[in-house]
Amino acid sequence: MPTQKRTLLTRFLIWRIKYISHRQFVLFLSIMVGLLAGMGAVILKNLTHLIQHLLEGKLIADYQTAFYFIFPLIGLTLAFLTMRYVIRNKVSHGIPSTLYAISQRKGFMRPFQMFGSLITAPITVGFGGSVGLEGPTVATGAALSSNLSRLFHMNQATRTLLIGCAGAGAMSAIFKAPIAAIIFAVEVFSLDLTLASMVPLLLASISAITTSYFFLGSDILLPFKITDKFVINDIPFYILLGLVASMVSIYYTKMYSNIQDFFEKIGNPIKRLLIGGIGLGVIVYFIPPLYGEGFDVINNLVQGNPNAALENNFFNLDLSSIWVVIMLLAGLVVFKIIASALTFGAGGVGGIFAPTLFMGSLMGNCFAKILNNIGFLNNPVSESNFTLVGMTGLMAGVLHAPLTAIFLIAEVTGGYELFIPLMITAAISYSLTKYFIPHSVYTMELGRKGDLITHNKDHAVLTLMDITTVIESDFVPIYPEMNLGEMVHEAVVKSKRNLFPVLNKKTNALEGIILLDDLRPVMFDQNLYEEVKASELMHSPPGLIILNEDKMTDVMKKFQDTGAWNLPVIKNGEYYGFVSKSKLLTAYRRKLIDFSGK
């Protein structure tokens, strides 16, 4: 290509290859990704708070409870119109859409995803959608990093790593918890934690938190510190809290899944909007603490001020009665996930991280209050500590991210003194929930389809492989009515293979296979050329690969179970080709090298 026609980007890429190593450039990109993720967090937070401030202060001078009903519907309608007429694409849930891009699109994310959540999430949450901003922030950063990787021609392994850096940067900027953010990226995106990945994740996390401090100051989303000491005698109660957290996690996941399934059956998006919007409005009207993210409620609980969180109850119940308070807290736990699922079902854009923290804090606080008021404890338990540990338990169960849950609460609160109860509750909640619910809320859809990337490297590599790249179609077909002479002259002589598919001439359906070994005993006896038919020699294949149904993990298992070297591929009931074990293993080795970045 003539030098004068080279673009500036092309010149830069050539210069980079000459003077900067791949590793050095990845470190530079990780810093850039962290800055972009941090900026995304700042923009999302400020836009959301601006909308909330305008609604509560500027546009509505006398804020009436009735507006709790109408605002969410307005916000969901605006988000719907924005997606249809401005973005012209559906903005999917943040972290699940990112996981889908990693597992099924080789880390490529479409350009509109860089700004789709930036616009629609603040509208959804600012108008009272009962979801969080963490997922959209992660999705925005991931899309920016994906397109940045594409711009600079990074390979798949690097794209995946930089998407993980974006996730770490987003969480670091939101919670100002850089270590927990790195663990989040490793757990949720199933990254290999090696020195090659650790340094980029660390740089992204640092640059994002620095950006957050620069624009947002030292304000912390969960601004509280541990004041009560951990008491060894409370361990049985933390074990019990872990059991309760697992039950609430199962309820959370089942309720969320059932409501999403309900909305998926409604084909018309307008109907989904109206049903979800009106349902959310009714719930928020009767239970105002479910309006928006709910971090104010969490902070009031940890600071020992539940009345401030519950004072807007619709029925004006007497909060001087502790059992009324406990009942209201339990009600918030039950209805929060319903409100969140309705928000998503109606087409709203947000995340489930904040609802999980919300429900976990209420669950822990409610649990501690029950213990302190049933009358058999000589020394009351710390309600603030149980509130914090409750958040950890529910995060571990719902998100299947126990280490993230432990380190986030410990890092945000400076509560490393609570490490023992945090670990106990998180371990019990995660283990029991995973037994009944194999996949987290983030991964349940991909997990059901077998498209989920996990820390099992063999499974991850197989998931990333495309079966169509290993299908071979240069096999000469044989038809059942062909005689031996026709098979020899029209198939054996013309083929370089020792395997022949036997096809129905009208439907192209596979009726069987014939091996060269099946023909060899008779193919040299010309007296049999007219007598022996293909239908007499053919036999059933040891297994079938169904295209668009079988995943690569299924294909590999079929080879393992049958011991075959070639298996036929069927598409829509018709013969499509063969997959050979040798070609499959060669493709696997190449993908493993690319996946490992070596």
Asked whether residue 222 is domain-assigned, the answer is: no
Average pLDDT, rounded, for the chain:
84
Percent of the chain with pLDDT over 70: 89
pLDDT, position 61: 44
Per-residue pLDDT band for 28 (boundaries 50, 70, 90) equals very high
Of 453, 441, 452, give the one whose Cα is nearest residue 161: 453
pLDDT, position 311: 65
- Average pLDDT of the residues in 484-508: 87
Place of tokens 């958040």: 391
Specify whether 514 is located in the same domain as 552: yes
**The domain that contains 538 carries what CATH number?**
3.10.580.10
Per-residue pLDDT band for 75 (boundaries 50, 70, 90) equals very high
pLDDT, position 201: 93
Query: Amino acid identity of 105?
Result: R
369 with 332: CB under 8 angstroms?
Answer: no
pLDDT, position 364: 94
Give the DSSP H or E segment for 571.
Answer: strand 566-571
pLDDT, position 315: 65
Specify whether 444 is located in the same domain as 300: yes
Whole-angstrom distance, CA of residue 295 vs CA of residue 131: 11
Tell me how many domains the chain contains: 3
329 lies in which domain range?
232-452
Q: Which of 431, 452, 473 is the last residue of a domain?
A: 452
Asked whether residue 224 is domain-assigned, the answer is: no
Question: Residue 5 pLDDT more than 90?
Answer: no
pLDDT, position 270: 93
Specify whether 479 is located in the same domain as 424: no
- Average pLDDT of the residues in 579-585: 83
Count of other CB atoms within 10 angstroms of residue 14: 12
**The domain that contains 301 carries what CATH number?**
1.10.3080.10
Specify whether 284 is located in the same domain as 358: yes
Per-residue pLDDT band for 44 (boundaries 50, 70, 90) equals very high
Asked whether residue 293 is domain-assigned, the answer is: yes
Specify whether 469 is located in the same domain as 431: no
Specify whether 325 is located in the same domain as 202: no
Strand 545-546 to strand 566-571: parallel, antiparallel, or no bridges (unpaired)? parallel
Whole-angstrom distance, CA of residue 315 vs CA of residue 324: 11
Specify whether 77 is located in the same domain as 36: yes
Specify whether 21 is located in the same domain as 157: yes
466, 467, 470, 471 alpha-carbon torsion, rounded to 10°:
-140
pLDDT, position 518: 83
* Residue range 282-316, pLDDT digits in tens: 998 888 888 888 888 888 777 777 776 676 666 66
Whole-angstrom distance, CA of residue 358 vs CA of residue 364: 10
CA atoms within 13 A on the CB side of 276: 34
Asked whether residue 223 is domain-assigned, the answer is: no
Specify whether 361 is located in the same domain as 422: yes
Per-residue pLDDT band for 464 (boundaries 50, 70, 90) equals low
Asked whether residue 301 is domain-assigned, the answer is: yes
Asked whether residue 221 is domain-assigned, the answer is: no
39 with 209: CB under 8 angstroms?
Answer: no
More confident residue, 593 or 94: 94
Q: Which of 452, 471, 487 is the last residue of a domain?
A: 452
Whole-angstrom distance, CA of residue 104 vs CA of residue 120: 24
- DSSP 3-state assignment of 231? coil
* Residue range 525-534, pLDDT digits in tens: 788 888 888 8
Q: Which of 452, 485, 505 is the last residue of a domain?
A: 452
**Phi, psi dihedrals of residue 181, rounded to the nearest 5°:** -65, -40
b/e burial code for range 330-353 (CB count within 10 A of at least 16 → b): bbbbebbbbbbbbbbbbbbbbbbb
Residue 500's beta-bridge partner residues?
Answer: 514
pLDDT, position 147: 92
Specify whether 89 is located in the same domain as 146: yes
Specify whether 174 is located in the same domain as 252: no
Query: Amino acid identity of 291?
Result: Y
Specify whether 158 is located in the same domain as 272: no
